[in-house]
Amino acid sequence: MTAAFAISRRLDGSGMYRISLSMFVCLLVFCCLFTTPWCFNCFSEYEVSWWGARGEEFNYTFSASHFQLKAINFYDTGKRPPLKEAYVLARSPRDFVMRMIDECPSAMVIAYGLLAESRLSIDPEDATGLRWLAVFQA
């Protein structure tokens, strides 16, 4: 017997009330467990390939979930910020950026936010522009 049905039987023996209470408890559990920020992370990996000036091929695999974890670790524990990944995202070709905004907007918001924060002491005007990009994408 689940806890929801045990509680509902103690409160009222009617079937209709019992079902609505169990649905309420299930909804409450769902809201508590599945609406936390970790549920909205992207678990996709993106592979980017390009050729250099001398004809050499470069392959880069970007993991959106690892990027977000690195950003969380930067803010929570003070580890190194994932600026390389943020620059790769922000300076990518426009079609790739638009695809990332559609598929994984949180990674783009984090990227522009990190870049704005890093540019704040170097170039405040550029930092303001990056901040507005992050705000408008959110």
- Report the number of distinct structural domains present in the chain: 2
Query: Who wins on pLDDT, 50 or 81?
Result: 81
Q: Which pLDDT does position 92 carry in this prediction?
A: 85
Q: Which pLDDT does position 50 carry in this prediction?
A: 78
55 and 92 inside one domain: yes
pLDDT, mean over the chain: 71
Closest CA to 30 of 1, 11, 4, 6: 4
16 and 73 inside one domain: no
Write out the DSSP string of 50-116: EE-TTS-EEEEEEEHHHHHHHHHHHHHH-----HHHHHHHHTS-HHHHHHHHHH-HHHHHHHHHHHH
Cα(113)–Cα(20) distance, rounded to whole angstroms? 43
Query: What's the pTM value of the predicted model, to 2 decimals?
Result: 0.58
45 and 13 inside one domain: no
26 and 41 inside one domain: no
Q: Which pLDDT does position 96 carry in this prediction?
A: 83
Structural domain that includes position 20: 3-34
**Cβ(77)–Cβ(91) under 8 Å?**
no
63 and 9 inside one domain: no
Cα(119)–Cα(72) distance, rounded to whole angstroms? 19
44 and 97 inside one domain: yes
Cα(94)–Cα(112) distance, rounded to whole angstroms? 14
Query: Is residue 112 pLDDT above 80, yes or no?
Result: yes
The mean pLDDT of 61-75, rounded to a whole number, is: 88
Q: Which pLDDT does position 136 carry in this prediction?
A: 64
16 and 83 inside one domain: no
